[in-house]
Amino acid sequence: MDLISILVDIAILIIILILRALYTNWLAIKLKWESSFRRGFLVNLAWIILLVVISVLIIFIAPPIFIELSLTVDEINSIYLIISFIIFIINVIIGIFIVHSFYEKEYWGSSVVSIIVVISERVIMVIIQASIYFFFQVLLTEGFYLFTPF
């Protein structure tokens, strides 16, 4: 990862954080919870930090293990498929617990907020990825919002 992609990542991370905070705040208000932009921002900050830590850990830990075990490309792809799915589930679970602890509300509401945020973000990311690939012929596999492999 070069310096430019890290800077682009950080800029995208900040924009996403603000948008997620606004969105979470709106969802919480719709659920008739006591909410503010500040609380939404803190929820998403904690959520993203945890997710970035897990993602970075895997990005740095997984490749040396694969090399040590001398896995084939097909085996590595299969493992990444499983890891990406596990990270997706962990993302939702982290979201549920963070929303629950910050808003102090029931789990079903926290699950709904967490799932809506994760799914909406995923749909938007798919559009962005597809557009970048189609218009610039660039397949972003690293450095883009840190979560790209997942």
Partner 1 sequence: MSTTIFITINIIFGYVILFGGIFLLKFFTDKFECRKPYLTAILVNVIWFLIMFFVLSFLSGLITSYLITIGADSDLFAFVNIINSVIILIMNILVIALLIKVFYKTELKDSIFLSLAVISIQVFIRIVVANVLSIIFTLTTGGYSSFYIFQFI
Q: Judged by CB, which is closer to partner 1: 17, or 125? A: 125
Q: Judged by CB, which is closer to partner 1: 70, or 137? A: 137
Binding pattern for the stretch 38-67 against partner 1, x by CB under 8 A and - elsewhere? ------------------------------
Q: Could you say which of 93, 108, 138, 142 contacts partner 1 (CB under 8 A)?
A: 108
Say whether residue 3 binds partner 1 (CB under 8 A): no
Cα distance between residue 90 and residue 49, in whole Å: 13
Cα distance between residue 138 and residue 150, in whole Å: 18
Q: How many residues bind partner 1 (CB under 8 A)?
A: 32
The structure tokens 């997620």 sit at 20
DSSP the chain: --HHHHHHHHHHHHHHHHHHHHHHHHHHHHTT----HHHHHHHHHHHHHHHHHHHHHHHHHHHHHHHHTT--HHHHHHHHHHHHHHHHHHHHHHHHHHHHHHHT--HHHHHHHHHHHHHHHHHHHHHHHHHHHHHH-----SSSTTTTT-
Q: Judged by CB, which is closer to partner 1: 3, or 104? A: 104
Question: Closest distance between partner 1 and the C-beta of residue 123, in Å?
Answer: 6
Question: Closest distance between partner 1 and the C-beta of residue 81, in Å?
Answer: 6
Q: Judged by CB, which is closer to partner 1: 7, or 81? A: 81
Q: Where along the sequence are the contacts to partner 1 (CB under 8 A)?
A: 27, 30, 74, 77-78, 81-82, 84-85, 88-89, 92, 108, 112, 115-116, 118-120, 122-123, 125-127, 129-131, 133-134, 147-148, 150
